[in-house]
Structure 1
Amino acid sequence: MPRIRLAVSLLFLMNGFMMGSWAPKIPVLKDRLGISEGMLGLLILTFGIGSLLMMPVAGGLISRLGSRRISKLMAACLVPVLLLLSLVPGLPLAFAALFLFGGFVGAMDVAMNANAVAVEKRMRRAIMSSCHAYWSLGALVGAALGGPAIAHFGEVTHAVLVTIAGLVILLVAWPMVMADHPHPEAEKEKLALPRSPLPWLIGIVALFSMIPEGSVIDWSALYMRNELGASVALSGYGFAAFSATMAIMRFAGDHVRDRFGAVKTLRVCTLLALVGLVMAGLAPSATIAIIGFALAGIGISNMVPIAFSAAGNLPGLAPGIGLSVVTFMGYSGILFAPSLIGFIAEHVGFSIIFTSIPLLFLVVLLLSGHAVHADATKN
């Protein structure tokens, strides 16, 4: 693997690892601070707000300074934040720490995706899907090891180990991260929302791809338990199948995209995701639902990476600006939409939810022609 590709893959791995390591700390933080579920929800919302606010800021900085500097800076800022969260003595500092955590995660997300676009251009081949696969792998490792580590070593020692691991990954990647050059006119431009409709249209593709993803993450287990009568153990298999097929297909997605092109790949993936979620929503049993979620994972796996590649290659627009718009719109779907979906599901049930959400994929199909910009990496 070329050094520049290894470096950006390690950035994705580290970001995912930090996010995965956060998940098992959530109930520990709740107990330590003695707060209610509602207050915990506000804390997690603060993470989302910090992330979304920093994404457009990162986009503007990338257009001036390049993605290498911002990726490395945000990664360095992110490394110690989980340790800080493990040491905060009260609620006000917990809110501040989670805002910073979300902000650094979001800003690094924009920057490392911009760097991946730059590496794609240098290599003249797709790498975005595998980069996102490394993120999924890092999140899986962080989440899987986090619970046992906290149980055996305690919250603070776990955070120290995570910090050391994150630092080691960053130090390995640090000298290899590819330098990219900001647009010549970037320093003269004012920070402003792009006037071109293209980043907003591709942002809709990302948004309508990530709302279903967030719905499966947050609600598939409850749906299988309450409406399909699955056992506690079996109810988690829907999301597990979804995650497994998504990770596998993200490692394969670059080769598929290079062979068939971004537009055709996006359309086929969208149709697979649509069929999978409808199958899950109409499933007469938990087993059929698991198969449906697995099929949806195959489909959704490469939809967002293609949208991000397209956003970083829009004509006349700095990659950081296009990516900041698309990541902002996409992640707002995965952070906030599931809450609204949960409220609706209280009245209509999750079967209708999972059957109806694929309507969003019809819009993705209508806009799929814009994915042609993702193939600019080959030019």
Structure 2
Amino acid sequence: MGIKFRLPLVWNVYFSFFIYAFSLGAIFPRLGDLQLQMGIGPAALGLSVTGAALGVQVSLLMASSVLSRLGFRKVMFFGMLLMGIGEALAGLATSPYVFFGWFFLAGLAIGVVEVAVNVEADRVEALAGRRIMNRSHAFWSLGFFATGLLGAFVAQLGVPAGLHLSLTGLVSVALTLLFLARYQPAPIRGADHDGPPKLARPTRGIMILVAFTLSAMLLEGALIDWSVIYMRDVFEESAFVNGLALTLGALGQFIIRFFADPVVDRHGAERVARVSLIALALGAGVVSFTPNSTLALIGFVFLGAGTAVIFPLAISAAAQRGDRSSPENVAALAQFSFVTFLLAPPLLGFVAENFGIRYSFGLALPLILGSWLTVGALSHAGRKA
């Protein structure tokens, strides 16, 4: 009976990551079109995109409390609904201020859903007795890959961004409803019964994990926000090829994340993280300096592969620290790691407008060294400090 229960539970967690990313990622292949629709430059676009990051920050302050009170099913449904509405209306915006406002609304949903799916994966991981966190994030990447490929295709066809995002939101909410109708969330873990406080405050251990994730978060944000525009501005490729930059980066993430869990079990989190950081540095270097569009696409694959396990490993380490409830630690890590997403778009947009978009990706190279120096934080799960 345990086997009959366990396998559907694991695959339903995978689906929750997939559909979350499929809805969230729909807008990013269309950012170049939306930039032209609003008639703004890279710096203004970077500021506009911070709407979602700011919304994420606000919701992460209370995400663990909301999850504790509403439960996974309600958070998933209302979060996906709000995300779809926010992105669809942002896709209709002709002003960066309007875009910022609707993207902020989407961000409010993103933060809570982010914590919900990661905490659910951690609970199912404990129930199943084996790692599923990296594979769960693999399906997040698969969702981004699918929505990126779809976005590149419809952009090439000239489908308006607003229509594309509205239909994606409707499909995502409908599939979420079907998923929730047959899903019974995993039981709460022992430490989670204490109940989280209203605000998720970081401990010293969580802040070290935040430092470890900075380079990957910055480059994943750059991949998501700027890869399509990079291909358009640097190489003047077609809309479909431009979209492939994001799509191939997500594919690289998916492949590594899908096979990462047994590799981490065999070789340890630290060793896998160090190999990932080498791939991340290689990808950032290629994108920053290559004169060839094909090599640039290969560089984006390395960026996706290099970022693949960094945040999932940190999430697992945070959830397993044992000093507080796992929702509180996960929310604290996500909250402060996502500060990178809040600061990165305007910073990278400013650099792109004043120095060239290549330099936007090169900025992360010093941060990769910082991640290398703090990788030991992954071995501290279960400690009370």
Q: Relative to 1, partners in 2 of residues 1:55 and 1:366: Cα closer, same or farther, differing over 3 Å?
A: same
* C-alpha distance in 2 between matches for 1:325 and 1:284: 40
> Tell me, what secondary structure is at the counterpart of 2:62?
helix
Matched residue, 1:196: 203
Q: Relative to 1, partners in 2 of residues 1:26 and 1:370: Cα closer, same or farther, differing over 3 Å?
A: closer
Question: Which residue identity is paired with 2:185?
Answer: V
2:280 pairs with 1:280: no
Matched residue, 1:4: 9
Matched residue, 2:131: 126
Matched residue, 1:219: 226
Q: Contact conserved, 1:249 with 1:302, CA < 8 A, in 2?
A: yes
Question: Which residue identity is paired with 2:361?
Answer: F
Aligned 1:142-157 pairs, distance under 5 A: 142-145=147-150, 148=154
Q: Relative to 1, partners in 2 of residues 1:42 and 1:370: Cα closer, same or farther, differing over 3 Å?
A: closer
* C-alpha distance in 1 between matches for 2:360 and 2:307: 17
Matched residue, 1:367: 374
Moved more, 359-368 or 169-178: 169-178
Moved more, 101-110 or 177-186: 177-186
Question: Which residue identity is paired with 2:338?
Answer: Y
Shift of residue 85, structure 1, vs aligned partner: 6.5
Question: Which residue identity is paired with 1:211?
Answer: L
Question: Which residue identity is paired with 2:369?
Answer: L
Matched residue, 1:210: 217
Structure 1 residue ranges without an equivalent (≥5): none
Aligned 1:265-276 pairs, distance under 5 A: 265-276=272-283
Q: Relative to 1, partners in 2 of residues 1:158 and 1:195: Cα closer, same or farther, differing over 3 Å?
A: closer
Matched residue, 1:13: 18
Q: Relative to 1, partners in 2 of residues 1:105 and 1:205: Cα closer, same or farther, differing over 3 Å?
A: same
Question: Which residue identity is paired with 1:186?
Answer: D
Aligned 1:229-268 pairs, distance under 5 A: 229=235, 231-232=237-238, 236-268=243-275
What TM-score do you get using the length of structure 1 for normalisation? 0.81
Q: Could you report, residue by residue, the CA deviation over 1:85-126 in whole angstroms, capped at 9, with x for unpaired residues?
A: 657999999876543322112101111101111112222222
Q: Could you report, residue by residue, the CA deviation over 1:58-110 in whole angstroms, capped at 9, with x for unpaired residues?
A: 12344x55xxx533222111343335765799999987654332211210111
Matched residue, 2:184: 176
> Tell me, what secondary structure is at the counterpart of 2:374?
helix
Shift of residue 231, structure 1, vs aligned partner: 3.6
2:356 pairs with 1:349: yes
Q: Contact conserved, 1:209 with 1:330, CA < 8 A, in 2?
A: no
Q: Contact conserved, 1:20 with 1:141, CA < 8 A, in 2?
A: no
Query: RMSD value over aligned CA atoms?
Result: 3.7
Matched residue, 1:315: 322
> Tell me, what secondary structure is at the counterpart of 2:322?
coil
Q: Contact conserved, 1:8 with 1:177, CA < 8 A, in 2?
A: no
* C-alpha distance in 1 between matches for 2:168 and 2:297: 35
Q: Relative to 1, partners in 2 of residues 1:239 and 1:96: Cα closer, same or farther, differing over 3 Å?
A: closer
2:328 pairs with 1:327: no
Moved more, 35-44 or 233-242: 35-44
Moved more, 248-257 or 214-223: 214-223
Shift of residue 168, structure 1, vs aligned partner: 3.0
Q: Contact conserved, 2:27 with 2:165, CA < 8 A, in 1?
A: no
* C-alpha distance in 2 between matches for 1:223 and 1:258: 37
Question: Which residue identity is paired with 1:191?
Answer: K
* C-alpha distance in 1 between matches for 2:144 and 2:341: 16
* C-alpha distance in 1 between matches for 2:34 and 2:295: 37
What TM-score do you get using the length of structure 2 for normalisation? 0.79
* C-alpha distance in 2 between matches for 1:281 and 1:27: 19
Q: Could you report, residue by residue, the CA deviation over 1:196-241 in whole angstroms, capped at 9, with x for unpaired residues?
A: 30111112222321101222333345545555x4644655554443
Q: Contact conserved, 1:83 with 1:160, CA < 8 A, in 2?
A: no
Matched residue, 1:137: 142
Q: 1:50 aligns with which of 52, 55, 61?
A: 55
Q: Contact conserved, 2:89 with 2:102, CA < 8 A, in 1?
A: no
Q: Contact conserved, 1:212 with 1:358, CA < 8 A, in 2?
A: no
Q: Relative to 1, partners in 2 of residues 1:356 and 1:172: Cα closer, same or farther, differing over 3 Å?
A: closer
* C-alpha distance in 2 between matches for 1:170 and 1:179: 21
Q: Relative to 1, partners in 2 of residues 1:11 and 1:318: Cα closer, same or farther, differing over 3 Å?
A: same
Shift of residue 318, structure 1, vs aligned partner: 1.2
Q: Could you report, residue by residue, the CA deviation over 1:319-355 in whole angstroms, capped at 9, with x for unpaired residues?
A: 1111112212222323431320221244443444434
> Tell me, what secondary structure is at the counterpart of 1:183?
helix
* C-alpha distance in 1 between matches for 2:231 and 2:154: 26
* C-alpha distance in 2 between matches for 1:279 and 1:157: 32
* C-alpha distance in 2 between matches for 1:20 and 1:265: 26
